[in-house]
Amino acid sequence: MDTIFSQRRHAKRYRQIVRVLASHGLSGLTSSFDVRARLRRALIGGLAAEPSVTVIHGRSLRAMHVRRAMEELGPTFIKLGQILSTRSDLLPAEYTEELKRLQDDVPPAPWESVRALLQEELGRPPEEVFATFDQVPLAAASIGQVYAATLHDGRGVVVKVQRPGIRPVIEQDLSILGDIARVASNRVPMVQRADVVGFVGEFGWILRAELDFVREGRNADALHDGLKRIRGIRVPEVMWELSTSRVLTLERLEGIRVDRIDALRAAGHDPHQLVHRIVASLSHQVFNLGLYHADPHPGNFVVCEDGTIGMLDFGQVGSIDDRLRERLLLLALACAERDPTRIVDEMSMLGAVPAGWDRKSMERDIAHLIGRYVGVPLRDIPITDAINDVMAMIQMHGLRLPAELALMAKTLSMTEALARQLDPDVNVVEIVEPIIRQSMHRFYSPGFWVDRLKARPLEVMMLSAALPGHIQRLLSRIDRNDLTFHIHYDELPETLRAMNSMVNRLAMAIITAAAGLSWAVLLLAIQPGIRSWTGIAFVMGFAVLVLMALNVLARIWRNGR
């Protein structure tokens, strides 16, 4: 019922989505919208037919249409595609590769609307707040656009301004995506198993967080603090007095884009050293800080005059908590020891294991994957290829990785691609390996665990006081042979209801069949006249049998759906 109300409330946007999908030959996807039949006929009739799955220059034509449709549908769908491009555990490789090409360059919003937003957020016109403010943006994307400005003290800054009116559009699209996910989950078991509703909710949280420029400023501050001791890396300072939830003012870092190799060499910079610095910095962020720049494409790095690498744009910043980092380190150890059983243990701890999961089959596939890289020097293993192999296997076995891990895998792949673009002979693994080993040593050092225990003094004291009593009671119960176990199965009530329904259908079918046989035997034995009261009773009994049989068939058919 809520979905129907939402469709009526957002009818215009629904029509637009259906038109765009149909124009790209994706009208089959609109069946999940549950839009009224007359609306579908009016919108889809006469539009382009769905294309066959054709490959052009190694790229799937259908995947290309999906990407183009997302670009046409605007910011919410562009961001959705960018997130899905990291989820190799959810989508086939041809789709994730195509979605990585999503472009977020759009015409800038009119200066009048931007100026009004700046005045509303900062309390004064931009002409008063800044000494100079360039009205032509440096860059314009679907959510925000960036302007160059100068403070009254002469410092150069960049001002990121949220696109006026973008928030209601995104909220409307998130509501529609939630409706589609719920309808599709109710109708398609595979969609329900993939927890698409949960994914859409997670995506909504990520997108709303990206709309909050205060959060982006805090990310920049955290990376600034975490990297200030790393030589050659610079994170701009946030001007908090000129920042709000819709305006973010940062120190301006002047330099050469990191992918302009000829300009860098002409300025006296060595691309090989720059690559080493970028990869080491991002690895340090992932494995030591637990907070990392998650969009390492060339446009987000500039090389300053003194050779320092400046990092830009902190809208996408990933985080990994201590628990997940510990599991990743244990997984790395299991991979180093080439132990399929332990690898499967750690992967199952990292991902959601579906019902009916075949552990032996996954162990066998892990062993085959290990065999593919046995004897290959570590420096000759491309990170991207290894990640893609692992993601393909995870998808095949139906595991769903945490979003944090998928984002980290995407970041590592982008980092390797950037590194090879700047220096084709670079060995990314050789740069990353010492940082991972350093993290492992820290993980196994006594000081690390002492610090962890110091952070929870009350829990440690309570456990220390209660543990002897618990152990004594446990040993006493074992000695009296009085130890019992209680197992709780979360899906037991649902399973019992399903079994009860199945038994009821079976019983009803048996009763109907027995009654039918009895009716036939009595009919042959008595042979009543058609117009006698016994004949009428037999006809009524036959009608009841037919109704009972139809009821059994209807319940079987309904359950089979």
Residue 128 lies in a domain: no
> 299 and 362 share a domain?
yes
Residue 187 lies in a domain: yes
Question: Which of residues 189 and 509 earns the better pLDDT score?
Answer: 509
pLDDT score at 6 = 52
> 262 and 389 share a domain?
yes
> 497 and 440 share a domain?
no
Burial 392-407 (b: 16+ CB within 10 A, else e): bbbbebbbbbebbbbb
pLDDT score at 537 = 76
pLDDT in tens, 242-265: 999 999 999 999 999 988 888 999
Residue 140 lies in a domain: no
> 418 and 281 share a domain?
yes
Q: How many structural domains comprise the chain? A: 3
CB count within 10 Å of CB 165 equals: 10
Q: How many residues does the chain have?
A: 561
pLDDT score at 478 = 76
pLDDT score at 452 = 65
- Chain mean pLDDT for the chain: 78
Q: Which residues are catalytic?
A: 295
Residue 554 lies in a domain: yes
Range of the domain at 51: 2-104+168-208
> 175 and 279 share a domain?
no
CB 435 within 8 A of CB 283: yes
Residue 144 lies in a domain: no
- Name the residue among 411, 381, 391 with its Cα closest to residue 347: 391
Q: Report the C-alpha gap between 340 and 328 in whole angstroms.
A: 15
pLDDT score at 429 = 72
Lowest pLDDT segment from 144-153, 184-193, 416-425: 184-193
Residue 417 lies in a domain: yes
Residue 84 lies in a domain: yes
> 387 and 299 share a domain?
yes
Asked if residue 40 has pLDDT above 70, the reply is: no
Question: What are the two backbone dihedrals, phi and then psi, of residue 345, each rounded to the nearest 5 degrees?
Answer: -60, -50
pLDDT in tens, 512-542: 777 777 777 777 777 776 667 777 777 787 7
Asked if residue 24 has pLDDT above 70, the reply is: yes
Domain finish residue from 427, 444, 461:
444
Confidence of residue 191 (pLDDT cuts 50, 70, 90): low
Question: Which of residues 400 and 261 earns the better pLDDT score?
Answer: 261
> 280 and 420 share a domain?
yes
Q: Report the C-alpha gap between 78 and 99 in whole angstroms.
A: 9
Asked if residue 44 has pLDDT above 80, the reply is: no
Confidence of residue 342 (pLDDT cuts 50, 70, 90): confident
Asked if residue 132 has pLDDT above 90, the reply is: yes
pLDDT score at 368 = 84
Asked if residue 558 has pLDDT above 80, the reply is: no
> 513 and 425 share a domain?
no
> 302 and 394 share a domain?
yes
> 521 and 440 share a domain?
no
> 265 and 401 share a domain?
yes
Question: Which of residues 75 and 188 earns the better pLDDT score?
Answer: 75
> 410 and 496 share a domain?
no
Asked if residue 307 has pLDDT above 80, the reply is: yes
Residue 408 lies in a domain: yes
